[in-house]
Amino acid sequence: MARSRSRSRSRSRSRSRDHGPPAPAPAPATEADRAHPVKCRRPVAAGQVPVPVAYAAGITLGVLAPAAAAAATMARPRPRP
């Protein structure tokens, strides 16, 4: 019985490796924004900025903003008691 359990575990692990993570879906709001009279002027909807670049910028800012806040907090001199 121990063999059948270990085989089933290894099979489930190999299956997850074969398929990999799902690909991100394109932004569905972009198509709707292109048809909107006001939202069509936004950079992504207007085609000025590609969607992957917008995602990369968002992730970069999401990582760098807390790091910059932490660095600013550490650089501030502490008041003397």
Q: 38 lies in a domain? A: yes
Q: 12 lies in a domain? A: no
Q: 18 lies in a domain? A: no
**pLDDT at residue 51, as a whole number:** 87
Does the reported pTM lie above 0.85? no
Residues 40 and 46 sit within 8 Å (Cβ to Cβ): yes
Residues spanned by the domain of 41: 29-71
**pLDDT at residue 3, as a whole number:** 54
Q: 36 lies in a domain? A: yes
**Token couple for 49:** 């900025």
Q: 2 lies in a domain? A: no
Q: 22 lies in a domain? A: no
Q: 52 lies in a domain? A: yes
Q: What is the pLDDT of residues 3-28, one digit of tens each?
A: 555 454 545 454 445 566 666 665 66
Number of folded domains that form the chain: 1
